[in-house]
Amino acid sequence: MAHYKFFAQAIEGLYDKGEAQSIRRIVQEDVFHGRPSSSLSDEDVALLKRIEGQLLSGRPIQYILGMADFYGLKLQVNESVLIPRQDTETVVYEVIHLAKAMKKNGKLQILDIGTGSGCMALALKKELDLVDVLAVDVSIKALNVARKNNRGLQLCVQFEQLDILDENQWGRMGTFDIIVSNPPYIPPSEKPLMPSYVKDQEPDIALFVPQDDALLFYRKIALFGCAHLSENGFLAFEINEFRAMEIVKLLEQLGYRSIAIKQDLNGADRVVYAKKPFPQGAKKA
């Protein structure tokens, strides 16, 4: 019987057809090791129905399975962390290119702010030679997930708790060649536009910003970068595709240079990166 076909059809009421097919492939590969419908036992079919029921209740497949794919890595995830997404892989891709173009004696120092599951920090550590990666988050529960992923992948990323909004905590941080972040950027007014399996399941702390200050985290992190980026260091953000020019303007006002916007695979503005401002009084080349 076409068990996978019926499974995908059943969840199309909650997900669009493309997403339903993607979930079907994830389940077939990760749960049933690629086996066809014809080889599923009665127990397997019962498990497939249980997964279907959880999906229809609004629980994302990544939380059901306890894992997510990101940049070639298998990561543990739970409701304490944002689910890693393909859009965020664009940030990793751009930072890898920035890092490889930077000239430095010794290791590059990279900081990931708001690391969540550790997805960006771990991918960067895996893909780049001669880098030290520090990843921070305000959430202890998220850091526990990130540390489990770090141990499982044996990548030697350092994780620490930090509330980037609290400027009193900045003094204990060092200097970094690249600062990367996928910060919260969704104002509450946009919540009704979001799928229920995102807004009702994933952590609010990783998604939402105050209605009257949508650029709160971008501004704070950019200010932090002014003091904590090395000479010619770079800041790289994942962005809300509709706020690219607002973020560019913010960075320009703070003196950042070589600002660039990059698109994801769907052609949406997804990454903004910029070079550290010149020190006051320094000549611009």
Kindly report the CATH number assigned to the domain that includes residue 106: 3.40.50.150
Looking at residues 227-232, what average pLDDT do you find?
Answer: 95
Range of the domain at 198: 80-275
**Domain membership flag for residue 237:** yes
pLDDT at residue 282, rounded to an integer: 45
Q: Is the pTM above the cut of 0.75?
A: yes
Q: Is the pLDDT of residue 283 over 60?
A: no
- Tell me, yes or no, whether 230 and 270 share the same domain: yes
- Tell me, yes or no, whether 143 and 232 share the same domain: yes
Task: Work out how many domains the chain is built from and give that number.
Answer: 2
- Tell me, yes or no, whether 19 and 105 share the same domain: no
**Domain membership flag for residue 140:** yes
- Tell me, yes or no, whether 232 and 174 share the same domain: yes
Contact 5, 11 (CB under 8 A): no
- Tell me, yes or no, whether 143 and 269 share the same domain: yes
DSSP assignment string, 81-147: SPPP-HHHHHHHHHHHHHHHH---SS-EEEEEES-TTTHHHHHHHHH-SSEEEEEEES-HHHHHHHH
**Domain membership flag for residue 71:** no
Q: What is the pLDDT of residues 18-66, one digit of tens each?
A: 999 999 999 999 999 999 999 999 999 999 999 999 999 999 999 999 9
Which stretches within the chain are classed as H helix?
Answer: 3-11, 17-26, 42-56, 61-65, 86-101, 119-127, 140-153, 196-199, 204-207, 216-228, 244-253
Residue 1 pLDDT class (50, 70, 90 cuts):
low
- Tell me, yes or no, whether 35 and 173 share the same domain: no
Contact 244, 269 (CB under 8 A): yes
Task: Give CA–CA dist 29/34, Å, rounded.
Answer: 4
Q: Is the pLDDT of residue 284 over 60?
A: no
- Tell me, yes or no, whether 120 and 172 share the same domain: yes
